[in-house]
Structure 1
């Protein structure tokens, strides 16, 4: 009478004939599962970089558009304060020029990077 271990197929009556896969099949199944997991990890790694680059590109586009508008607004406001007879004319002009320059900058950026 030897020691009985849990899951011992000989003593449990479960052998290859009872639906248990032979060791070669287990090895092949394990190898295929590992290769699927490796491919899944590689795909996740690639997508992580894609998501990060997408966010960075979106931030760059935002800055390319907003920065000229803000600079135009501040410059226009400064001109309106220092030139007599102008209330808001230069501010509106600066904002409009900033929108135009921002749109051109975004267009050029997208054309070069796509």
Structure 2
């Protein structure tokens, strides 16, 4: 009986804490981490696309930026999709 009472009390405290958390606004450090995560999700595919495209363009004869531009655009689309999915989940 005592274990059940302790479990109910702990559960009630947890529910109260979650309700208070929902009503509070996010802290500045939380927003900073959230923004940093969004930046990494967006910028990383663009940078990787630029480096990969530049490397592929150096393999082609003559001057070409075809792969670089194509993979940067693909990185922008992929980064936008990553941010969209992250915001949907959180």
Structure scoring higher RCO (CA < 8 A, sep ≥ 6) equals 2
RMSD of aligned alpha carbons: 1.6
**If the length of structure 2 is used for normalisation, what is the TM-score?**
0.69
Aligned residues: 67
| Deviation of the 1:97 alpha carbon | 0.3
> For residues 43-78 of structure 1, what are the alpha-carbon distances to aligned partners after superposition, in whole Å with 9 as ceiling and x for unaligned?
xxx76x621110000000000000000000000000
> For residues 82-110 of structure 1, what are the alpha-carbon distances to aligned partners after superposition, in whole Å with 9 as ceiling and x for unaligned?
12256100000010000000000000000
Partners of 2:55 and 2:63 in 1: CA distance:
11
> For residues 14-71 of structure 1, what are the alpha-carbon distances to aligned partners after superposition, in whole Å with 9 as ceiling and x for unaligned?
xxxxxxxxxxxxxxxxxxxxxxxxxxxxxxxx76x62111000000000000000000
Partners of 1:108 and 1:84 in 2: CA distance:
39
**If the length of structure 1 is used for normalisation, what is the TM-score?**
0.55
The DSSP-based 3-state class of the residue aligned with 1:57 is: helix
C-alpha distance 86-97 of structure 1, shift in aligned 2 (>3 A): farther
Of 42, 45, 52 in structure 2, the residue corresponding to residue 68 of structure 1 is 45
Of 87, 91, 95 in structure 1, the residue corresponding to residue 68 of structure 2 is 91
Structure showing greater Rg: 1
Which structure is higher in helix share? Answer: 2
Unaligned runs of 5+ in 2: 1-23
Unaligned runs of 5+ in 1: 1-45
